[in-house]
Amino acid sequence: MTPPARLSAAIEVLADIAARRRPAADALKDWGLAHRFAGSGDRAAIASLVYDALRRRASAAWIMDEDSPRALVAGMLRLQYGLAAPTIAGLFSGERFAPEPLSEYERSRLADATLADAPDHVAGDVPEWVLPALAKTFGPALLDEARALGRRAPLDIRINTLKHSREAAMGELNHLAPKATPHAPNGLRIPIGEDGRGPALHVEPEFLDGWYEIQDEGSQLASLLSGARPGETIVDLCAGGGGKTLSLAAMMNNEGRLVASDDDPRRLAPIHERLRRAGAQAEVRTPRGGRARTDVLGDLDGTADRVLVDAPCTGSGTWRRNPDAKWRMRPGALAARVNEQAAVLDRAGALARPGGRITYVTCSLIPDENDAAIAGFLSRTGEAFRVIPATEVVAAAKPDLAPFVRFTDHGLQMSPALTGTDGFYVATLERRSGS
C-alpha cells in the first residue's frame, strides 16, 4: 500500500471507532480481516497512524477546527510527525486510494493554526473532565506530563533471574540491541522503529525458553517495591495474567509460599503457561464463577507476610499504550473502580498477619484511586494498619529511584515524564502487632 492509501485506511478505521465506540484494537482487527491484501507492514503502519491520531485527538481537532477522522489524521501529521502543510497536501491528493484533496480552509489551518491559545486539556490531549485530577497529581508539571502521556511507550522486558542474570541475558539478546532500563535492575529496553513497531518478542527462542517477560519498567519497579523476600508467605490478590506473580517468584527465588488469585477466573487463564515457561513456583487459586463462587483464600486469613494488591483501575497511567481508552473513559467507570479498590483492599487487610504488609498498586494517575483509596481503607480499619512512608520503602528497595518519583500523602507516583514509565502508584501498609 502507498502512504496515501494507508492514510485512507487509518481514516476509515477511525470512523469505525467513532461510530461504534469500541476499542481501536477491535476496529483494526476487523479492518485487517476485511482487507486481506494488506501485508503485515501495512497493517502495522495503519495501526501506528490510528494510535497516533488518537494520541493527538484533541490538539489535532483544535488545529483543524474539526474533529472528523480526516481532520484528526491531517492534524496529527502536522503535530506528531512534523509534516509541513504542502507535504500533507501531497498525501491528500485524491488520486488512486488517497484521501480527497485538502480544501483551502484545511490548508490554511495546517499552515497557520497553533496551540498557543489552546486550553490545557487540548494542549495536553486529555479529557477535560479528568484535567482537575491530573492537575492535583502533577501540579506545575501538568502539561509536561500530559504531553508525555501522548508519546509512544518504550518496549521493556524483565529478565527472569530464575534462569539468567540481566548481564548474561543482554549478551545473548544482542541481536535485539537491548539497553539496560534506567531504574529497574532486571529490565532491558528494546528499540522500536519509526512506525512504533518492535520485534516480535513473543516468538523469540529466548522468550519461549522463559528468559524474559514483556513488562513495563514501572510494573517491574512496583513489584520491586513490595520488598518480597525468599521464605515468606505472599499473596498476589489481583494476579490477572501473572506478570507481577512472576516478578515475585523471581524475587523470592522460588523459596517460600506464593499464592496467586483473582476475582475474575478468566483473567487467570494465561498464568499457568507463564509459570511453566518461567520455571516459577506459585499456587494458583481460581474461584468458581457464577452463584457457586466461594472465597478460595479463607484459610490464609491472618497468615500472609505480604499481600500484593494490583488493583483494578481506570488505567489512566497506561494511556501511552492505550490512547483510545482515555477518550472512552467516563466518570461512572471511575466510581465503579473506586468501589472495587475498596473491596480488594479490605480483603487484603484480612489476609495480612500482624506485622504483615500490603503493597497497593494501581496504573492510575487519579488521586481518587490512589491516596484517597488508602485514606478510605485507614478510616475503615481504625488503628489496625499504618502507612509505611514511601520514602522509607524506596530507601530500602531502590534508593536512587527517589528523584524520579513524586511522593504523595500515602505513597508514591511514577509517571512518563519524570520516571519514564507508565503511571504507577504504590503505597505500603502494615498491620500493627496485636491487631
Between CA 95 and CA 375 the distance in angstroms is 60
Residue 409 annotated as binding site: no
Looking at 1, 308, 363, 401, which residue is catalytic?
A: 363
Q: In what order do the strands lie in the sheet with 179-180?
A: 179-180, 187-190, 155-159, 212-214
Residue 371 annotated as binding site: no
End-to-end CA distance of the chain: 66
| 313 has catalytic annotation | no
Long-range own/partner contacts, residues 206-211 (CB < 8 A, 24 or more apart): 206/169, 206/172, 206/173, 208/277, 209/163, 209/277, 210/160, 210/162, 210/163, 210/277, 210/278, 210/279, 211/159, 211/160, 211/163, 211/164, 211/169, 211/172, 211/173
Q: Which helix (H) or strand (E) holds 155?
A: strand 155-159
Between CA 54 and CA 310 the distance in angstroms is 27
What does the block give as the cell for 88?
500533507
Tell me which residue of 176, 57, 67, 179 sits closest to 124, measured CA to CA: 57
**338-377: burial string, b at 16+ Cβ within 10 Å, e else:** bebbeebbebbbebbbeebbbbbbbbbbbbbbbbebbebb
Tell me which residue of 184, 250, 180 sits closest to 217, measured CA to CA: 184
What does the block give as the cell for 293?
463462587
Catalytic residues: 363
Binding site residue list: 262, 310
| Binding-site residue set for S-adenosyl-L-methionine | 262, 310
